[in-house]
């Protein structure tokens, strides 16, 4: 049998916003545990928890100050053990987030390293001398704005940070640093977690000579200066492969564990995930390329083309905690359309690879409109209003339409529950057979029951606009998926519609001769 992660659907949980068990307005581990029947009932294979570690919370927990302690607002190690056991009891695997590229400045490693150039952990982070004029060693920029260097007076050096200044970059070229992160992995693997989603892998290695990046050719100045450089030297360094191999080797000592890598949207992203998931590297990986780009026939065909690539094992993700929710982001003019929302779920769940489903994506939640005063995300606050804050995708899960705070919490939540999300709450959708939730459950059941969808090859079909299509084929079965990427009915070439049969549990009965606006056809062949 194929390993569990091949073709798995991984439900991404943003713990702060999933379910609050103790009435402090912040989601927690016990809250997640209370919703496991819902998650298992969706028909997903695993959950990925965004960071739950001790952290000052400067970047939503991606600034870890203790890799082996749980943030008190989320609970305790006992709560995590209980959650992992309860997930396993329902056949769900658990991936934690491994933040490898940096820590919080509050981490004891950084406190030690910054003390002096001769400190015991002096090489744990990337420090470099200033230039003769006192300016930073090179022109590298931080993703979150401004130079990628912060001054460290005690060392008379700059420290590299690809994100916030409070997130100094770890020096993974230093063997002891990589060993330290490997021992963090073992701590959690020994506790029974099934693997990790590994954060920001394009930032784990850089040019050892610290050469400056060239300017990117551009007509205009973008809102984010990071986009003004070609990231030839600060990211995607040659050391990446060796780091990936080491991470993989750590998991090989355990049974059935998996690594899901996150790669940026920088050019060549699809090729990078194919390479990063080659033999001896990660099990699967996703790129932010689709999450950052637009959606139309051209982009959708590029996804299908990438999914057809026989090398490596991609994981598809259309929504997550870093981007505008897909129901809004990919809707024409940003106005969500339930038919398109369902089409996107069907596409996500039929492409070759594994898939991540972000909490609330199964409800078709639109992006939450938030005023500046409500924003917590430092990235969003820095670039407001030119760039939508990531908080619009991080608002609380709506569980019960009529309950205070839509059932998320008994207190005022850390981010508001938007009114538009109440009508889309779990209880309301559970009662409506036409809901996005019902569609998502049916697609997930279909995928589980259909080996060709989980593991089969993907063969793109050459179809006239506005149709997109492909076949999936395993040694014993073949099926066809056709999508109408327009708001008008579209005729399906007769040969494609003629011979398909409905798949078990599928929310659509085969491939019809005429596809409704934003319609989907999925059918088995012979
Ligand atoms: C995470 C972000 C985070 C960044 C820095 C990412 O790719 O998904 O939420 O801000 O890494 O850790």
Check pLDDT > 80 for residue 349: yes
Average pLDDT of every residue of the chain: 97
The 10 Å Cβ neighbour count of residue 393 is 27
Catalytic residue chosen out of the listed positions 28, 63, 194, 250: 250
Q: Could you tell me the pLDDT band of residue 211, with boundaries at 50, 70 and 90?
A: very high
pLDDT digits (tens, 9 = 90+) for 416-441: 999 999 999 999 999 999 999 999 99
Please choose from 53, 58, 95, 163 the residue to mutate so as to test ligand 1's pocket, defined by most ligand atoms within 8 A of CB: 163
What are the pLDDT digits (tens) for 359-402?
Answer: 999 999 999 999 999 999 999 999 999 998 999 999 999 999 99
Q: Which atom of ligand 1 is nearest to the CA of 200?
A: 7
Q: How far apart are the first and last CA of the chain?
A: 24
* 44 Cα: distance to centroid of ligand 1 (angstroms): 24
Report pLDDT digits (tens) over 253-263.
999 999 999 99
Task: Indicate if 199 belongs to the active site.
Answer: yes
Confidence of residue 497 (pLDDT cuts 50, 70, 90): confident
pLDDT value at 2 more than 90: no
Taking residues 302-328, report their average pLDDT.
Answer: 96
Check whether 1 has a pLDDT greater than 70: no
Q: Are 451 and 354 in contact (CB under 8 A)?
A: no
Mean pLDDT of 482-492: 98
526 has pLDDT over 80 = no
Q: Residue 518 Cα, ligand 1 centroid: separation in angstroms?
A: 32
Q: Whose CA is nearest to atom 1 of ligand 1?
A: 199
pLDDT for position 498? 82
Q: What is the pLDDT of residue 389?
A: 94
pLDDT at 219: 85
Contacts 24+ apart (CB under 8 A), 225-233: 225/141, 225/145, 225/146, 226/141, 226/142, 226/143, 226/145, 228/141, 229/139, 229/140, 229/141, 231/266, 232/207, 233/138, 233/140, 233/206, 233/207, 233/209
Pocket of ligand 1 (CB under 6 A): 59-60, 62, 99, 163, 199-200, 262, 321-322
- Banded model confidence at residue 310, pLDDT cuts 50, 70, 90: confident
So what's the pLDDT on residue 293? 86
Quickly state the pLDDT bin for 246 (edges 50, 70, 90).
Answer: very high
Give the pLDDT confidence of 84-134 residue by residue, as tens digits. 999 999 999 999 999 999 999 999 999 999 999 999 999 999 999 999 999
| Res 388: pLDDT | 85
Task: Using most ligand atoms within 8 A of CB, pick from 49, 53, 200, 321 the residue to mutate for ligand 1.
Answer: 200
Helix axes 240-252, 175-190, angle to 10 degrees: 30
Rounded to the nearest angstrom, the gap between the alpha carbon of residue 255 and the centroid of all alpha carbons in its chain is 24
Closest atom of ligand 1 to CA, residue 63: 12
Q: Report the nearest-CA residue for atom 2 of ligand 1.
A: 322
């Amino acid at each position: 049998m194929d390993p569990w992660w091949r073709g798995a659907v991984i439900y991404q949980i943003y713990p702060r916003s999933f379910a609050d068990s103790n009435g402090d307005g912040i989601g927690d581990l016990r809250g997640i545990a209370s919703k496991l029947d819902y998650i298992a009932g969706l028909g997903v294979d695993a959950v990925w928890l965004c960071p739950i570690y001790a952290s000052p919370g400067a970047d939503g927990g991606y600034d870890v100050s203790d890799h082996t302690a749980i943030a008190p607002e989320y609970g305790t190690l006992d709560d995590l053990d209980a959650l992992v056991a309860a997930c396993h009891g329902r056949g769900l695997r658990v991936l934690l987030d491994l933040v490898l590229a940096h820590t919080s400045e509050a981490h004891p490693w950084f406190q030690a390293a910054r003390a002096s150039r001769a400190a015991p952990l002096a090489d744990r982070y990337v420090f470099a001398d200033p230039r003769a004029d006192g300016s930073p060693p090179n022109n590298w920029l931080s993703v979150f704005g401004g130079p990628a260097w912060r001054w460290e007076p005690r060392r008379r050096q700059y420290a590299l940070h690809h994100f916030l200044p409070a997130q100094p970059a770890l020096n993974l070229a230093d063997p002891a640093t990589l060993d330290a992160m490997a021992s963090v992995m073992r701590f959690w693997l020994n506790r029974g977690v099934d693997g990790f989603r590994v954060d920001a892998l394009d930032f784990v290695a850089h040019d050892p000579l610290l050469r400056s990046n060239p300017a990117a050719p551009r007509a205009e100045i973008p809102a984010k200066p990071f986009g003004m450089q070609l990231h030839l030297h600060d990211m995607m360094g040659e050391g990446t492969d060796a780091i990936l191999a080491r991470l993989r080797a750590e998991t090989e000592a355990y049974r059935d564990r998996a690594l899901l890598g996150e790669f940026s949207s920088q050019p060549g992203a699809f090729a990078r995930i194919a390479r990063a998931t080659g033999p001896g590297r990660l099990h699967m990986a996703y790129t932010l390329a689709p999450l950052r780009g637009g959606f139309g026939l051209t982009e959708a065909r590029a996804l299908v083309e990438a999914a057809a690539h026989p090398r490596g094992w991609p994981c598809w993700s259309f929504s997550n905690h870093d981007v505008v929710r897909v129901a809004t982001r990919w809707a024409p003019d940003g106005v969500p359309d339930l038919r398109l929302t369902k089409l996107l779920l069907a596409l996500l769940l039929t492409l070759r690879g594994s898939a991540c489903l972000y909490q609330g994506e199964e409800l078709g939640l639109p992006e939450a409109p938030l005023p500046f005063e409500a924003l917590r995300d430092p990235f969003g606050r820095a670039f407001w209003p030119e760039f939508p804050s990531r908080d619009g995708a991080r608002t609380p899960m709506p569980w019960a339409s009529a309950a205070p705070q839509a059932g998320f919490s008994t207190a005022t939540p850390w981010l508001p529950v938007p009114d538009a999300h109440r009508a889309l709450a779990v209880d309301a959708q559970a009662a409506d057979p036409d809901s996005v939730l019902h569609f998502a459950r049916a697609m997930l059941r279909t995928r589980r029951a259909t080996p060709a969808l989980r593991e089969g090859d993907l063969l793109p079909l050459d179809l006239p606009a506005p149709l997109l299509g492909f076949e999936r084929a395993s040694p014993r079965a073949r099926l066809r998926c056709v999508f109408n990427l327009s708001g008008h009915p579209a005729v399906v070439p007769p040969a494609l519609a003629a011979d398909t049969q409905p798949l078990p549990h599928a929310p659509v009965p085969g491939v019809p001769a005429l596809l409704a606006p934003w319609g989907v056809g999925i059918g088995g062949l012979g």
